[in-house]
Chain A
């Protein structure tokens, strides 16, 4: 059984790159000691998801825009997440002079 190949690149190449990006992002979220760096990790993970969605759209179902709608909403969610997350970090930094999430063990400031 031959695989569908686009311009000489099979689908699983994209999937593996996306998996790599996702795992690097995951490490960023879990392992960094800085809240902004953790959010950067989240953005990397969202990008990996987008690569997967567009790859599947292009290879499997290019005739329906379902995946594209998902990608657009991931864009929206990523923007909203970055906006609110960074606003929170700035606010917390103003009050505690720290962006280390481990130090945020109080319920209020």
Chain B
């Protein structure tokens, strides 16, 4: 393997991504965790650049760093006082074991030198879902991939349905989140509680009626 500028950058970015991700899952201070999450997202954007998909690198910065991280930081600050809590729960050691095992399994699977492993008995070459695992050339891409992608989003025979469903999903997510997160006025909350109490009382009454005179109620229902 030859060492190029790209491999050096790749190594640096990998260290940044994995290191900051480790920091995220181990630190006690949630605000620091959120900052390190941002660094990790940034590193991932760098990996996208190395994969020559600049649009998604920028989109990663715009959506993950510019929007989702802000949501996280706001949530950390709104649930104040929870900055230093116990880091891990009771099953943390088991979780670590599972994660490490999974990692080992994935590394064994994607390791291209272990050609002798066969996924199915009798299979000569790893073929997963129609994509030959071993390929010989990497074709160059042009800038038109953004255009292609954009056209496919509104193409009825491509991804139009998921595209519109994504809009609906965002709609529902916003509606639900606003409904859950908004602070209601005390009067509003009280009114709702009264309504719920009234409903519960009604329910109880009906049940009592059922208990005391089941036959008559059933008969009334029957008619």
> A residues engaging B (CB < 8 A)?
1-17, 19-28, 30-34, 36-37, 39-41, 43-44, 47, 50-51, 54-63, 65, 68-69, 71-73, 75-84, 86-91, 93-94, 98-100, 102
Docked-complex contact B10 and A32, CB < 8 angstroms? no
Docked-complex contact B87 and A90, CB < 8 angstroms? no
The residues of B that contact A91 with a CB separation of less than 8 Å are 180-181
Question: Known contacts A65-B152, A79-B63, A79-B170: does B37 contact A40 (CB below 8 Å)?
Answer: yes
Docked-complex contact A28 and B180, CB < 8 angstroms? no
Docked-complex contact B180 and A24, CB < 8 angstroms? no
* Cβ proximity bits B34-64 to A, threshold 8 Å, 1 near / 0 not: 1001001100100110111100100110011
Docked-complex contact A16 and B18, CB < 8 angstroms? no
Does more than half of chain A's interface fall in helix, strand or loop, or is it mixed?
A: helix
Docked-complex contact A68 and B56, CB < 8 angstroms? yes
Docked-complex contact A32 and B176, CB < 8 angstroms? no
Question: Known contacts A19-B110, A80-B173: does B88 contact A33 (CB below 8 Å)?
Answer: yes
Docked-complex contact B169 and A84, CB < 8 angstroms? no
Docked-complex contact A27 and B96, CB < 8 angstroms? yes
Docked-complex contact A47 and B64, CB < 8 angstroms? yes
Considering the complex, give the chain B residue whose CB is closest to the CB of A77: B169
The residues of A that contact B1 with a CB separation of less than 8 Å are 8, 10
The docked-state distance in angstroms from the alpha carbon of A78 to that of B44 is 15
The residues of A that contact B102 with a CB separation of less than 8 Å are 19, 22-23, 26
The residues of A that contact B3 with a CB separation of less than 8 Å are 8
Q: Interface residues of B toward A: which range?
A: 35 or more
Considering the complex, give the chain B residue whose CB is closest to the CB of A83: B177
Query: Separation in Å of the B190 CB from the closest CB of chain A?
Result: 15
> B residues engaging A (CB < 8 A)?
1-4, 6-7, 10, 14, 17-18, 21-22, 24-25, 30, 33-34, 37, 40-41, 44, 47-48, 50-53, 56, 59-60, 63-64, 67-68, 71-72, 74-76, 78-79, 82, 85-89, 91-92, 94-96, 98-100, 102-103, 106-107, 110-112, 131, 134-139, 141, 145, 148-149, 152-153, 158-159, 162, 166, 169-170, 172-174, 176-178, 180-181, 183
Docked-complex contact B110 and A12, CB < 8 angstroms? yes
Contact of B21 among A9, A44, A88, A90 (CB under 8 A): A44
Q: Which 6 pairs, one residue from A and one from B, show the smallest C-beta to C-beta distance?
A: A30-B95, A80-B173, A31-B95, A31-B92, A28-B25, A87-B177
The residues of A that contact B169 with a CB separation of less than 8 Å are 76-77, 80
Considering the complex, give the chain A residue whose CB is closest to the CB of B45: A47
Query: Separation in Å of the B93 CB from the closest CB of chain A?
Result: 8
The docked-state distance in angstroms from the alpha carbon of A75 to that of B88 is 28
Contact of A50 among B44, B50, B94 (CB under 8 A): B44
The residues of A that contact B71 with a CB separation of less than 8 Å are 82-83, 86
Contact of A17 among B47, B137, B145 (CB under 8 A): B47
The docked-state distance in angstroms from the alpha carbon of A58 to that of B2 is 20
Docked-complex contact B111 and A88, CB < 8 angstroms? no
Docked-complex contact B37 and A43, CB < 8 angstroms? yes
The docked-state distance in angstroms from the alpha carbon of A34 to that of B95 is 15
Docked-complex contact A20 and B72, CB < 8 angstroms? no
